[in-house]
Amino acid sequence: MATLPFELSRVQVWRWGSLLLNSVLVSGTAIGLTALLRPPKPLLFTCSSAALLIAFVGPELTGIWMPERMIAPYAAFLVTLALLSQGHIRILPVVILLVCVLIHGYVTMPILTLAFLAWGCWRAWRKQADGAGLQPTGLY
């Protein structure tokens, strides 16, 4: 096993891990918002929405306190849930993965996620049944 040429404390490992996971989630949230809103300049919108999210919750993205660590996953959950409710049924595995991460992370998350997940699935099912279901663009 490869070793690092320097020592990292447990807190530093937690911070780096939290930063890495939250970076992926913020990027996914920005890409999801772009797919949801379909702006005229998608790259500019994606970068600016990610920068805006980082500006609002910047210090919390590296936090190791559990409520701070749930901000980026919950933002990603809300955006993917909005995509699901618009009929983007192929995003359902991502929504379920985010629900699993959130429920595993904090005790009140089943209350804050499961009802929304059921609503999003119902809306996606209604969109598919009405023939108005959309395929996600730019997500796969």
Instruction: Say yes or no to pLDDT of 63 above 60.
Output: yes
Asked if residue 5 belongs to a domain, the reply is no
Closest CA to 102 of 21, 16, 12, 37: 21
**What Rg do the C-alpha atoms of the chain give, in angstroms?**
17
Please give the pLDDT value at position 96.
94
**pLDDT tops 50 at residue 140:** no
Which residue range forms the structural domain that includes residue 32?
12-129
Q: Express each pLDDT in 66-94 by its tens digit.
A: 778 888 999 999 999 999 999 888 999 99
The reported pLDDT for the residue numbered 139 is 46
Q: Beta-carbon neighbour count of residue 22 at 10 Å? A: 25
Is 134 a domain residue?
Answer: no
- Does residue 1 belong to any structural domain of this protein? no
Task: Specify the pTM.
Answer: 0.83
Q: Is 35 a domain residue?
A: yes
- For the chain, how many structural domains are there in total? 1
51 Cβ partners below 8 Å, 6+ apart? none
Average pLDDT over residues 36-65: 88
In a domain, residue 82? The reply is: yes
In a domain, 7, yes or no: no
CA 37 – CA 18 distance, rounded (Å): 28
**Percentage above 90 pLDDT, the chain:** 44
Element (H, E) at 29: helix 10-37
CA 87, 38, 29, 140 torsion: positive or negative? positive
Is residue 91 included in any domain, yes or no?
A: yes
Query: Is it the case that residue 21 has pLDDT exceeding 70?
Result: yes
